[in-house]
A and B are shown apart, each in its own frame.
Chain A
Amino acid sequence: MKKKLFLQLVLAASLLFSSVSYAAEATSTKDIPVGGSGQMEMVGTVEPTILSVTMPTFVPFNISSSLSTQNKVISPRISMKNNSNVPVRIDVTYTKVDLSKLKNVSWSDTGTVNSNQIAIGLKQEETKDEMPKTLTQARWLKANQKQDMNVLILDSNQEDALYVVGTMGDGVSDNGTFNVTPTFVVSRTSSAE
């Protein structure tokens, strides 16, 4: 008797749920009237912009008054490559200068030197693998202070190069060393100018 009652209850419950599911199906397939609108979720994901570059962390150079050119610096080719899909700009934000080993020598921020001054700057490569002979269009490094000096703009996946350039006064001895450490900072830019 109890068994029969239990079976009847199970049957009744299954019928009830099946009717509910039919009802749900009927409403979900209802036609959308012409000119009306349905709801569809569109999921967008913002991909992060990855900046990827290859650049030097140390720039060695030599300066000598014995060079016959206006530019007195022997510089390596400072190549920089933008491996990103966005254009980037490269700035010098600070230059640490230590002239303590050179007696009575001071720094020039402008490229114009008196007899006891040194000026060092950067210049974009004009001819591949050729050190600049002149100082025209050189950008001069300011000693021990903040500076936002753009030196290069690179389009996506582009490579370009800089050279260290410089000059010194007649009174600066060839027989000494000094340290110039520029900090290159790369940032995203809107387009290659």
Chain B
Amino acid sequence: MSQKKKRLLTIAGIILLLLLTVLVCYFLFTRKDNNNLEYDDNATAGILPGIDIDERRKQLQDMLDKSKIAFSINTSPVFLNGTSKGNLLIENPGNNAKLLKVSILIDDTEEEIYASKYLKPGTYIENVKLDKVLKKGTYNATAYFSAYDETSGEYIGQTGAQITINVQN
């Protein structure tokens, strides 16, 4: 290849790179920021009059199905004493596709005695130490499972499970 052709190819390459850079910059700077979305105050949530009921039901079903979670928990975890770990056995199964957070409240006092951080789908916690020291005894409590969108972290909803905590000493 002659020296002239080589020079031409190099110049063409540089021009192409410049064009690509300009294009990338254009898309980056003209992209709309989702955090600044303005919602119309005039919009009414609900069914547009005259909409097909079956069609609306399908939409609602889709929303409900997306909010569904599976979870597991030990119904009667045992703690050797108020400061030791107990077998809570909480699980966020792999098919959930949601993040879960667990918070345990004593039924009588509504005091929160345990709060987990986010559990990814396909993970579990076998033994936990409670955040509050409990005296020897049996406690009725509710474990609330809060679901969050796996990608956006947006809160979806919560459900609960009744458990009995046994502190032996």
A interface vs B, CB < 8 Å?
48-62, 64, 66-67, 74-78, 83, 86, 93, 131, 174-177, 181, 183-188
Give every chain B residue within 8 A of A181 (Cβ-Cβ).
157
B146 to chain A: closest residue by CB: A57
B interface vs A, CB < 8 Å?
44-47, 49, 53, 56-57, 60-61, 63-65, 67-77, 87, 89, 91, 142, 144-147, 156-163
Contact present for B44 and A175 (CB under 8 Å): yes
Sample of 7 A–B contacts (CB below 8 Å): A53-B70, A56-B64, A62-B47, A74-B47, A75-B60, A78-B64, A187-B162
CA A66 – CA B156 in complex, angstroms?
Answer: 30
CA A100 – CA B157 in complex, angstroms?
Answer: 21
Give every chain B residue within 8 A of A67 (Cβ-Cβ).
53
The 3 A-B residue pairs whose C-beta atoms are closest, nearest first, are A57-B157, A187-B162, A58-B157
Tally inter-chain residue pairs, CB-CB below 8 A. 121
* The residue from A49, A75, A77 contacting B74, defined by CB atoms under 8 A apart: A49
Give every chain B residue within 8 A of A57 (Cβ-Cβ).
67-69, 145-147, 156-159
* The residue from A50, A64, A86, A186 contacting B162, defined by CB atoms under 8 A apart: A186
CA A56 – CA B67 in complex, angstroms?
Answer: 5
CA A85 – CA B61 in complex, angstroms?
Answer: 28
Give every chain A residue within 8 A of B65 (Cβ-Cβ).
56, 76
**Closest chain B CB from A174 CB (angstroms):** 7
Give every chain A residue within 8 A of B89 (Cβ-Cβ).
48, 50
Give every chain B residue within 8 A of A177 (Cβ-Cβ).
44-46
Contact present for B161 and A76 (CB under 8 Å): no
CA A54 – CA B144 in complex, angstroms?
Answer: 14
Contact present for A58 and B64 (CB under 8 Å): yes
CA A16 – CA B94 in complex, angstroms?
Answer: 64
Contact present for A176 and B53 (CB under 8 Å): no
**Closest chain A CB from B156 CB (angstroms):** 5
**Closest chain A CB from B139 CB (angstroms):** 14
Give every chain B residue within 8 A of A187 (Cβ-Cβ).
75, 161-162
Contact present for A56 and B60 (CB under 8 Å): no
B70 to chain A: closest residue by CB: A54
Contact present for B46 and A48 (CB under 8 Å): no
B74 to chain A: closest residue by CB: A48
Known: A53-B161, A83-B70, A83-B72. 18 other contacts (CB 8 A): A48-B76, A48-B87, A49-B74, A49-B75, A50-B75, A50-B89, A51-B72, A52-B72, A56-B157, A57-B69, A67-B53, A74-B53, A183-B158, A183-B159, A184-B160, A185-B159, A185-B160, A187-B161
